[in-house]
Structures are given as C-alpha cells and as structure tokens.
Amino acid sequence: MKKFKWQIILILAAIAVFFAWPYFNNVTIPGDGFSTYGADTVRAEVTQIIEEGQIDMGGHMQTYQVARVNILEGQYAGIVMEIDYGKRQIRSDDYNLAIGEKVVVSISKTPENVVNAYFVDFVRTTPILWLTGIFAVSIILISRWKGVRALLSTVFSLYIIIGYIIPHILAGEDPLTVSIIGSIILLGVTLYLTYGWTLKTHAAVISMVIVLLITGALSALFVVFTKLNGTGDENVMFLMQLMETPINLRGLLLGGMIIGALGVLDDLVTTQASAVFELHHANPDFRFRDLYNSAMRIGQDHVAATVNTLVLAYAGASLPMLLMFSFAKGDYGYLVNFSFIAEEIVRTLVGSLGLIAAVPLTTTIAIFFASRAESLRKWEQFLGPEGDGHSH
C-alpha cells in the first residue's frame, strides 16, 4: 500500500510538471537583458588593504578603507582593481574589509575606456548556506522522513514560483490567474508530498482550494472597494519603467495576497484536519456536533494565535517606516489612507478572513472524511488510509 501511495504522489508530481513545463520554457520575458539590480556586479577577493583611516562625512566621522581586490568572475576575472569602502558614502555598519574577504563589486567603464570598480556589499553565500544546512538538518532530526518530504515540498514551491508564476506575470499574463493556477499546482504536489496520500490530506487539499477561492474573491472585492491599484510598492513603479509589456498591477496585488496566504493557510488547514481525525480516532462514537464543537475549540485558539502572528509580521516588516512616521509626529488615522499602508492592511485583514473561514470549512470537510473512514475502507487502495498511523 505504501509503495502504491508513493506511486500516486509521484504520478501527480509528474503530471503537474508535465503540464507546466511547456509554459516554463516557452515564455519570452519582455525586457530580458535589462540592466537591473545586481546585473553588473561580480565577486572579488580582498588581497591588500592600502589605506585606512577616519573621514568626516557631513559631520559624521567614520572609518574608511582603500583596498585592492582580485576579480573572481566575469569579463575581468583575474584582474586586480582598487576599491574604496566608506570614503564616498555614509556607512551603515561597523564591518571592515579584511584580507581574504569576499566582496561584491560593481564594474563600470567610462567613455574614455577607464575601468573602475566600486564596493557594493559583502558576499554572504557561505554563512547563508551554513544556516540553511543547520535548518535542514534540524527539520530532518525532528520530523525524519516527513521533514525530508517537507524540504522537497519547499524546493518545489520555490520552483513553481520562480519557474512558472514570475515568468508568466512578466510575460504580461493576468497575475491573478497565474497565481491561482500556480498555487493549485503547488498545493496539489506539496501537501501530498509532505503529508502522504491519506484521507486527512484529501480533506486539507479540498479545504485549501476552497479557502483560496474565497480569499481571492474577498481580495478582489476589497481592493476595488478601497480603490487600491497596486502601486503602493516602489518596486512596482520601477518594474513599470523597465517593462515593455504592461502588467495588470491590481492583478499583481491580488496574486501577491493569494501567494502570501498560502503558507499560513497550509499550516491552519492541515492542523485542523489532523485535529478532527485525531479526535475521531480517540472517540469514534462522537456525533457530528460533538466532533465539530471539539475541533472548533482547537481551531479557535489556532486562529487567534495565527491572526496575531500575521499582524505582528506585517508590523515588524513596516517598523522602519512606522518609526519615521512617528518621528515626524504624523497622525496614524491619516497614515492608513496612503496606498502602501492600505495595501498591507487589506492584505492582513483579507488573509485573516481567509483563516477564519478555513476553520469551520476544514472542520466540516474533515469530519465528512473521518466519519466515513470505515465505509471508504474498500477504496483504501486508491484513497489511502485514514492518516499517519491510522490505517485500517
């Protein structure tokens, strides 16, 4: 049975990739080749510190350095160039260059064919890889094979976002439609890959799809109601200047809301479905109303904590802006009228409404499957067992 279950999951993954693959490869991205952030940067290694001292930057004293670097890649690989750090701009950190340090530099050529290199940032690949490795090992140690499947699901999710959703939006397709299709492909594989081919997962997937449609409808309604047009993010304005093909900015905002709700909804619906199945397994004699009320009490606590998490997450991301506004003694009642703030408020509240709708919906659907687990036993070969550790 377990072998057959994994065959079904692999077949689903293969089907998803098969149907998505032509779209991944046949999308022409307008403006491909534009010079954008990071396009003219290369890695380099500091070989010598030539000069170091203090400099006055408009009344602010800071340390500056002049260093020689060996370019490690690109057209000028192997060439030693000179850069300065902290001599022309105010530094926001207290990290100094050291011999052997890997840095990112930008290389430009003047009309007189003079090549100059400028410090951009430090290379952080190695510590990030170490952190990623520690994270992966921790997940595997705690969750074992389920942790491995969760990591594979994460990789697949990123693949769908980078390989399907982003190229199609850049190609000028409707961002809302692309985001919904990408989300369904993403969910159809990752949930089954992580939690297995079980009745519990079926309940979670069905609930997730319905909640996503509800969230999308609420997002569309309140984006129009609040007169948002998707221009609250300055990156959107920069993208508009680069793009040859116009992008539906309102659809981009809606698509972002749906994708942003995926992670939290994934957690909520799977936890709620698990709660229903565990309660039913603990007391098979529970009637629908008893099982529903017991599961809802668990879901109510989960929703309360998750909504608070959402609000704090968005507040934390906006903290520098809130500090700046408070410093200027601004009126917070007036602040909510700005589009970039209103977008985050609508995103948070619509996502929270989706979470609220997910609890009774998932509970009802999970009870439907859990209460019929015995009658579905004859279809176990195709539908899978009740859940982890609860096969018939």
Cβ–Cβ under 8 Å, residues 110 and 121: no
* Residue 116, number of CB atoms within 10 A of its CB: 13
Give one word for 227, left, alpha or beta, with left for phi > 0 and alpha for psi -120 to 50: left
Report phi then psi at 36, rounded to 5: -130, -170
Residue 261 DSSP one-character state: H
Rounded-to-5 percentages of helix, strand, coil across the chain: 60, 15, 25
Evaluate if pTM is beyond 0.75.
Answer: no
pLDDT of residue 75: 86
pLDDT of residue 135: 92
Sole residue written with tokens 């530099």: 105
Nearest by Cα to 65 from 51, 54, 77:
51
Which amino acid type is present at position 40?
Answer: D
C-alpha distances (whole Å) from 131 to each of 122, 124, 146 are: 17, 11, 20
Mention every residue, 6+ apart, whose C-beta is less than 8 A from residue 111. none
Q: What is the 3-state secondary structure (H, E, C) of 24-74?
A: HHCCCCCCCCCCCCCCCEEEEEEEEEEEEEEEEECCEEEEEEEEEEEECCC
* Residue 122, number of CB atoms within 10 A of its CB: 14
Q: Is the dihedral of CA 383, 388, 390, 392 positive or negative?
A: positive
The token duo for 21 is 């693959």
For residues 176-215, one letter each, b for 16 or more C-beta atoms within 10 angstroms of the residue's C-beta and e for the rest, the string is bebbbbbbbbbbbbbbbbbbbbbbbbbbbbbbbbbbbebb
* Whole-number Å distance between alpha carbons of 313 and 187: 23
Cβ–Cβ under 8 Å, residues 82 and 116: no
pLDDT of residue 199: 82
Mention every residue, 6+ apart, whose C-beta is less than 8 A from residue 351. 215, 257, 260, 261, 264, 310
Encode the chain (392 residues) as per-residue pLDDT tens digits.
444 455 455 555 555 555 555 555 555 555 544 445 455 789 999 999 999 888 887 777 888 889 999 999 888 899 999 999 888 877 777 788 899 999 999 888 888 888 889 898 899 988 999 999 999 999 899 888 878 888 888 888 888 888 888 888 877 778 878 888 888 778 777 777 777 778 888 888 888 888 888 888 888 888 888 888 777 666 676 666 666 667 777 787 888 878 877 777 888 888 898 889 888 888 888 888 888 999 998 888 888 777 777 777 767 766 776 776 676 566 666 777 777 778 878 887 888 888 888 899 999 999 988 887 666 666 656 666 666 554 43
* Maximum pairwise Cα distance, the chain: 85
pLDDT of residue 287: 85
Residue 118 DSSP one-character state: E
pLDDT of residue 284: 81
* Whole-number Å distance between alpha carbons of 161 and 180: 11
* Whole-number Å distance between alpha carbons of 333 and 347: 18
pLDDT of residue 69: 94
pLDDT of residue 33: 47
pLDDT of residue 3: 46
